[in-house]
Amino acid sequence: MLLRSTFLKLKIKYLIVIIVVCFLIRIFGVFTHLFEKDYYKTFEYPYNGNIHISVQQLRYNQKPDIPPINFYNYEYIIDCHEKCTSDSNIVPLRLVYIVKSSPENFDRRVVIRNTWGYEHRFSDVEIRTIFVLGTRHDNELQEIINNESAQFKDIVQANFTDSYFNNTIKTMMGLKWAVKFCSASKFYMFVDDDYYVSTKNVLRFVRNPANYPQYLQESNHKTKNVSVIHQTRIEDFELPEDVRLYAGYVFFSAPHRHFTSKWYVSLEEYPYHMWPPYVTAGAYVLSLEALMDMYYTSFYTQHFRFDDVYLGLLAKKATIEPFHCDHFYFYKNPYESQGYSFTIASHGYDSPAELLQVWTDQKSLGNA
Ligand SMILES: *[C@@H]1O[C@H](CO)[C@@H](O)[C@H](O)[C@H]1NC(C)=O
Ligand SMILES: *[C@@H]1O[C@H](CO)[C@@H](O)[C@H](O)[C@H]1NC(C)=O
Ligand SMILES: *[C@@H]1O[C@H](CO)[C@@H](O)[C@H](O)[C@H]1NC(C)=O
Ligand SMILES: *[C@@H]1O[C@H](CO)[C@@H](O)[C@H](O)[C@H]1NC(C)=O
């Protein structure tokens, strides 16, 4: 009798252990990993097929051979269509900031307008700044936004629900706005409204991305040396008009397969063991050609809810290679006056007062 009861207890113990192990395996997605497809061998993402010709046909207003499969047809509630013109003439621009903001973040927008988003920061560089918002379906909030837009003329708002997993829509409505209403800039920078940005360093970076920031250090050194001052200066370098630049902090990472993750992705949604390389979505730069090719490629790229992954998919399908630069910080670069000399962008500035303070400090040091 005694023997039988201990035996039973032992059995129950084993059963519990087995159940717990199975549960853990499921939570951590071990089985899911086994069924992933090899990104490097078999990658395809709908539309599956060669789209290059159709993308160019769409871009140049011809009827494409392949009918598009994906649209971002949300209406612009506010389109701010005069932002990049002057007396209806198109103004050639150097840089356009497309700031992804949330409807209620009024105080962040105030500080951005007065710091890195200030359009007249440099008298000889044409810069524009707009804020892209979705909607909260709240009439009171909307009235304040309408007033803000009337005052500053820098709000672009589209009719989709503003939420974290609608960020791809926000990004694509920003891209679409640039293509439709502001297509005469050489560079576009997409930034979240909780970032510090140094406009001075953005401009230095786009001048010579491959040698940033070394070329500045070299030229600093050289200007002190009279004997070389008349040689060709490396800062006169300029990227060609047709460059396809998609730059920022580049990630090579794998999808999350454990159920508890905020970023959990099922095999049905995405079957491969790796994401395409992508630039973290908080801050990145696109040249005009990259913007055009990625925008028109979106008509042949099934929607994906993570905006950074979606842009990675667009770049992959458009055969644009993401360009990595360490000076875009997707986390907060801890603040030190001297440590920010070459910082292009840093996450972690959800406090407008702190952003103002850091930016003012860096501007006085000649770094912003
Ligand atoms: C918006 O502007 C109008 C006209 O200037 C004003 O009457 C109204 O009170 C403002 N609304 C808000 C919410 O600020
Ligand atoms: C926005 O979309 C909703 C439903 O999708 C519609 O009822 C509403 O009229 C739209 N608003 C504007 C300003 O387009
Ligand atoms: C995204 O926006 C659409 C259009 O407004 C809405 O139907 C949908 O519920 C939103 N999705 C999320 C996750 O908020
Ligand atoms: C100045 O430039 C010349 C020629 O490149 C070089 O030989 C010399 O060492 C430089 N002097 C300094 C102080 O860098």
33 assigned to some structural domain = no
Ligand 4 atom 14: residue of nearest CA: 225
- Nearest listed ligand to the Cα of residue 220: 4
**DSSP line for 175-223:** HHHHHHH---EEEEEEEETTEEE-HHHHHHHHH-GGGTTHHHHHHHHHH
Q: Which atom of ligand 4 is nearest to the CA of 228?
A: 2
Distance 170 CA to ligand 2 centre (A): 16
Residues in the ligand 3 pocket, defined by CB under 6 Å: 160-161, 163, 165-166
CATH of the domain at 140: 3.90.550
Ligand 3 atom with least separation from CA of 305: 13
Look at residue 170 and tell me if it is in a domain: yes
Q: Which residues contact 114 (CB under 8 A, 6 or more apart)?
A: 356
Domain assignment of residue 210, given as a range: 52-222+243-364
Has residue 330 been placed in a domain? yes
Measured CA to CA, the distance from residue 298 to residue 318 in angstroms comes to 10
Count of structural domains within the chain: 1
Residue with the nearest Cα to atom 3 of ligand 4?
227
pLDDT (tens place) for every residue of the chain, 368 residues total? 555 666 677 788 888 888 887 777 666 667 778 889 999 999 999 999 999 999 999 999 999 999 999 999 999 999 999 999 988 888 899 999 999 999 999 999 999 999 999 999 999 999 999 999 999 999 999 999 999 999 999 999 999 999 999 999 999 999 999 999 999 999 999 999 999 999 999 999 999 999 999 888 776 665 555 555 444 454 568 899 999 999 999 999 999 988 888 889 999 999 999 999 999 999 999 999 999 999 999 999 999 999 999 999 999 999 999 999 999 999 999 999 999 999 999 999 999 999 999 999 999 999 99
Residue 84 falls inside a structural domain: yes
Residue 1 lies in a domain: no
Give 158's strand partners: 76
Query: Would you say residue 236 lies in a domain?
Result: no
| Residue 116 lies inside a defined structural domain of this protein | yes
Specify if 352 maps to a domain: yes
Q: Is 86 helix (H, G, I), strand (E, B) or coil?
A: strand
